[in-house]
Amino acid sequence: MSNIIECRSLCFSYSEGGTKTLVLDNLNFEIKPGEKLAIIGQSGCGKSTLLNLIAGLDKPSEGDVLIKSSNIAMLNEKERTELRSENLGFVYQFHHLLNDFSALYNVSLPLLIKNIDKRKAIKLAEDILKKVGLENRLQHKPSQLSGGERQRVAIARAMISEPACLLADEPTGNLDADNANDILDLIIELNDNQNTALIVVTHDSTIANRMDRKLELSNKKLHEV
């Protein structure tokens, strides 16, 4: 089975005031379709930086990131954007919804950006919002939704394009325990139904223990747990 994402000898550093700081050092891992992977580690250890490298939002200092065998460092910005749009979905700790628009519009937006017919995009958005239990919240704006409901909208938006891999950065970190469990159940259910690979960055052992594999980021390196 082909890898969805593969990182080879991945390094990241930055320079400030003439001083070079190494953040990630020689990371190697891969993830296959349908696989669930947790990346754990203390705050500030570089987990979010790693997600940004995987998504092509940052460029590695050394090494390679391959998405479906395409080396993102070798692509121009337009090609990286297209590859990201076609293959990756994103869920963050904070939902990053458009406050002036309804849940339905927020979820349909990734399809509209791809110039998919508006009626089709709206219908697909309705369908996935029903799947996440928000059939009675289609026209509600983010300010009219609870924290858990806003995160459900964010998940629906991430999954509407049926990405090859979902990248989730502390997706339950801003929720209470009950809502956090519900959101995690929902992410795993969608992951299973769509055979989407899942990479979850978290410091929560409860979340990590529900994944197929765990990698710990510490001292700038990844270790199998």
Residue 1 confidence class, pLDDT cut points 50, 70, 90: low
Task: Indicate the number of domains in the chain.
Answer: 1
**Tokens 């394009």 map to which residue?**
161
- Render pLDDT for 40-92 as a digit per residue (tens, 0 to 9): 988 778 888 898 898 888 889 999 999 988 898 888 888 888 888 888 888 87
Place of tokens 């765990």: 214
Is a pLDDT exceeding 70 seen at residue 175? no
137-141 own/partner pairs: CB under 8 Å, 24+ apart? 137/103, 138/102, 138/103, 138/104, 139/102, 139/103, 139/104, 140/102, 140/103, 141/99, 141/100, 141/101, 141/102, 141/103
How does residue 199 score in pLDDT terms, banded at 50, 70 and 90? very high
Angle at 95 between CA 94 and CA 101, to 5 degrees: 140
In terms of residue numbers, what domain contains 151? 5-224
pLDDT band at 93 (very low <50, low <70, confident <90, very high): low
CATH number for the domain that contains residue 10: 3.40.50.300
Residues facing 218 on adjacent strands = 221
137/51 Cα distance (integer angstroms): 31
- Phi-psi category of 16—alpha, beta or left, where left has phi over 0 and alpha has psi -120 to 50? beta
